[in-house]
Structure 1
Amino acid sequence: MLHVLVLFSLILSSSHALVQDFCVGDLKGPDGPAGFSCKPPSNLTVDDFVFTGLAKAGNTSNIISAAVTPAFVGQFPGVNGLGLSAARLDLAPGGVIPMHTHPGANELLSVLHGHITAGFIASDNSVYVTTLKKGEIMVFPQGLLHFQINAGKNGALALVTFSSPNPGLQILDFALFASNLPTKIVVKTTFLDEATVKKLKAVLGGTG
């Protein structure tokens, strides 16, 4: 029994020795599957663990009347390796975050001001939609198409958290109509007519 306890103690000690408290990303280096390499601890200050970019409202003067201010690893190296990140979501009246996915993370939306209609589509095409008010939250499972719309007459604000320091983002409308995917392929794969596809490409800047 003593031998078992000693062996268990050695295994536990060695496993703890491999664990780091944190790994602030060195953005000057390459970004691999495990994230960025770590800055030397001797070069770190408290500022490496603080991000002030979400304190300022985003610019909603755009085609979607909305702004997403990210605090991903690229903006906030302190989240490197920690399995989380955040973003600020500003929605002007009529604002919308179109159908999009985050290939690398689950998302948790927390409404701080206003009313936001949000929803997602499951892989079996079931639809889950509701209108959230201040203090309410909604989760969007990883990889599923989802959206947010300002449901009120005034601006809305939300804080979004992700289960990855680099959740990724692909907006469906932009992928189809802001890219150089040939119009004939978009027509064939979406069942939209050619005139509609060309009109949307003209609006969003796509070619082909």
Structure 2
Amino acid sequence: MVSTIANASAPRLRADALRNRERILVAARESFCLHGVDAPLDEIARRAGVGNATLYRHFPDRKSLLLHVLLYVNQRIIDLVEKSLVEESDPFEALRGLVLSGVRERVGGLSPLLATEVDHEDPLLKASKRRMHEVTEQLIQRAHASGQLRRDVGPGDLMIAIVRLTLPLPGSACGGSDDLAMRHLEIFLDGLRTPARSELPGPPRTLGDLKDEFC
């Protein structure tokens, strides 16, 4: 699904144009994760199966493309969480879906770009981050209320762990260590369950404690 936040003020696109836009965003997500912010735009167009003119028609420059990749990734995670809040009866399983989505969406590989290459005052990005925080808070509150999530874990702890545990290993291709990331995230999830088997140092982290590079 193409980001509804990202396209809130954009004219309605034809179905084929929407498909091209999403192919570009998916290709750019992989390329930026693999090669960093300097990933060649013509290579992104090739990966997406479109011409350079089509890419530039949707995204006039690199900054615009990077912003909309981040909006796209955020919206896909938000959509998943919103669906889980409605359809998933087990609060911890809904939380688990959010954590594991970090691997699929390349959150660890994209987070350094978010830290340095985008305007954090952009209204679309601010709205996207605000909604991400809202749904994450809802998941945490439900999991706490169910008694399944240890009380000394906050939403900030969750987001930091997702970023750290999905970072590509040095020298590995983007997505090349997905199985390892999934393995470590599952270990992390086991550590979130009650009863707690240790006492954590310091207070739970809130989303307000995080800097812009994390979410």
Q: TM-score, normalised by structure 2?
A: 0.28
Instruction: Determine which structure has the larger strand proportion and give its number.
Output: 1
Greater length-normalized contact order (CA 8 Å, ≥ 6 residues apart): 2
Larger Cα-atom Rg = 1
TM-score (norm 1): 0.28
